[in-house]
Amino acid sequence: MAKHAALLPTTFARIIENWLIEDIPSFDYGGYVVGDDEKQATLYCKSDGVLAGVPFFNEVFRQTGCTVYWSFEEGAEIIPMEGRVAVAQVCGPTRRILMGERLALNILARCSGVATRARSLRKIADTNGFVGVVAGTRKTTPGFRLVEKYGMEVGGADTHRMDLSTMVMLKDNHIWATGSIADAVEKARSVAGFSVKIEVECQSEKEALEAIAAGADIVMLDNFTPESIATAATSLKAHCLTINRNVLIEASGGITEENASRYMIPTIDIISFGSMTQGVPHVDFSLKISP
């Protein structure tokens, strides 16, 4: 049901456990009211979107002693034709269904929202013949990064770096604090070793050339206009040919669904979108117990 579930670390169950503890730190008064009669609840999707977050939803209810049966594969594009469509059934003691209800819905709504935005951006890329990488960013919700990065994967986007440890990204503050791009890259390489890529955020073509000369693996052209990035990327690629180096060029900053196609040019290897997680509408789900 969820082919991307194999990506998840075993520790994700502990994350769910902590969220349940946060939601039920002591007595569950509503659970006392409904008791332990076996019931079936239907999960409805009430807005268009890509279904994502199935392993998290399943784990919530596994920990509360319930079983989930899905009618759709994860990654399916759901379009409710008559206001809502049933996508899953949750079976178990009534109080335990309700114990996990809100947490499970919150996760599913957010993860599906991210996946929906990721799928939309990937479709824009495909429509425009862009063969480069469509990526998210590290602009994720604290404590919720695993869910949001998972949504990117399901939606067909690249997660970009997961955290500060998976790739070196030297941004403007790193450069200003160090003194120069060359010094920053040299210091980073001395500790990161051969296996970790170094990316440098650049505000101009001149800075990008400095980063390439310093040994950066990736240069990010940040907050460029479509016109200026086309000129800079073409020039940088030509320069890399002359020095026999394959340096990736990333476009980032202020790129949205509305203007993304203007950045999808052959000399750009990666386009990253903070909007893949920031300001994303959630997909609307509800869970209703059958009488």
Joined tokens for residue 233: 């990327």
CB neighbours of residue 219 within 10 Å? 27
Query: 143-160: buried (b, 16+ CB within 10 Å) or exposed (e) per residue?
Result: ebbbbbbbbbbbbbbbbb
- CA-nearest of 88, 36, 95, 37 to 67 is 88
Phi, psi values for residue 183, rounded to 5°:
-65, -40
Residue 139 annotated in active site:
yes
Distance CA 208, CA 233 (A): 10
What 145-149 contacts at long range (C-beta under 8 Å, 24+ apart), as own/partner pairs, is: 146/8, 146/9, 146/12, 146/15, 147/53, 147/56, 147/107, 147/110, 147/111, 147/114, 148/110, 148/111, 148/114, 148/277
3-state secondary structure of 283: coil
Joined tokens for residue 139: 């602009």
- CA-nearest of 110, 125, 43, 108 to 74 is 108
Residues shown for the chain: 291
User: Which amino acid would we find at residue 108?
Assistant: L
Instruction: State the catalytic residue, choosing from 123, 139, 197, 237.
Output: 139
Give the residue numbers marked as catalytic: 139
